[in-house]
């Protein structure tokens, strides 16, 4: 696939704890959390170990799960050995491209979207307190926007000795476009605006415009955007 990627620390945070996960046939993001250098360390380890684990492998669910487990173990063990990194963890959402299909691994509150035939669909479920409250109809979408627990995630890589990733399998059709992003994008830019931007612009321009809107709307978190699509012969 053809890919374009952006990451920005935003306007409020002192550093960028997000990491891009972009390598051969791999497209995604990791959004780290933890004090000192914990967040950026966790997201970097996740990205490095996934890339190493999946290099030259044929896309399949068991290899994918093993890669996420390996990342989890490395972060967990690194944290156990370093006082200042204790409690670090990261989200991890990435697409692994196969022949006519794609696998998506997902832990945490980063997201994968697919734009197909003019429709934007969020493929991943947020592993966050607020998303769970919403899914159980405990709160309204309006309440979710300002909920005091909106930063609490319910699943992350590296926090516990084992982690279970959601794995999504999807076919890849010509013209499909994929967006993987951290919450720094979707908390600042509504889905409808993301949709409109992708419809109106090519990947490079859309990535720039989405980043610009996230910053205009406050840029209160790190922002990471990966947009990719199959390379098909242009008509």
Residues that bind Mn ion (CB under 5 A): 31, 182-184, 221
- List the beta strands (DSSP E) in the chain: 2-8, 18-23, 26-33, 89-90, 92-97, 101-107, 111-116, 119-122, 166-171, 177-181, 223-229
Q: Helix or strand or coil: residue 113? A: strand
Residue written as token pair 């170990």 = 49
Distance CA 15, CA 40 (A): 8
Shortest Å, Cβ 17 to Mn ion: 7
Q: Which is nearer to Mn ion, 72 or 224 (CB)?
A: 224
Helical (H) or strand (E) element with 198: helix 191-200
Q: Is the Cβ of residue 11 or residue 70 nearer to Mn ion in the bound state?
A: 11
Work out how close the CB of 110 gets to Mn ion at its nearest, in angstroms, rounded to a whole number.
8
Q: Choose between 80 and 152: whose C-beta lies nearer to Mn ion.
A: 152
CB of 16 to Mn ion, least distance (A): 10
Residue 104 CB, shortest distance to Mn ion, in Å, is 19
Least spacing, CB of residue 222 vs Mn ion, in Å: 5
> Is 77 within 8 Å of 70 (Cβ atoms)?
no
Residue number with CB closer to Mn ion (183 or 203): 183
Comparing CA positions, the residue from 87, 78, 89 lying closest to residue 156 is 89
Q: Which is nearer to Mn ion, 118 or 148 (CB)?
A: 148
């Amino acid at each position: 696939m053809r890919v374009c990627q952006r990451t920005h620390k935003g306007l409020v945070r002192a550093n960028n704890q997000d990491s891009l996960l972009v390598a051969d046939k791999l497209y995604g993001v990791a959004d780290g959390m933890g004090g000192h250098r914990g967040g950026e360390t966790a997201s970097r380890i996740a990205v490095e170990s996934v890339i190493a684990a999946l290099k030259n492998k044929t896309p399949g669910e068991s290899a994918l799960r093993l890669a996420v487990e390996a990342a989890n173990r490395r972060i967990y063990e690194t944290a156990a050995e370093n006082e200042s990194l204790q409690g670090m963890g990261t989200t991890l959402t990435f697409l692994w491209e196969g022949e006519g299909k794609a696998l998506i691994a997902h832990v945490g509150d980063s997201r994968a979207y697919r734009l197909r035939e003019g429709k934007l669909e969020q493929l991943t479920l947020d592993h966050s307190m607020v998303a769970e409250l919403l899914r159980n109809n405990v709160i309204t979408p309006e309440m979710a926007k300002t909920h005091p627990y909106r930063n609490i995630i319910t699943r992350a890589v590296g926090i516990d000795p084992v982690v279970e990733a959601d794995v999504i399998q999807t076919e890849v059709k010509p013209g499909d476009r994929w967006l993987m992003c951290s919450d720094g994008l979707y908390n600042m830019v509504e889905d409808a605006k993301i949709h409109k931007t992708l419809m109106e612009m090519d990947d490079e321009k859309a990535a720039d415009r989405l980043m610009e809107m996230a910053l205009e709307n406050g840029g209160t978190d790190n922002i990471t955007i990966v947009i990719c699509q199959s390379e098909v012969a242009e008509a």
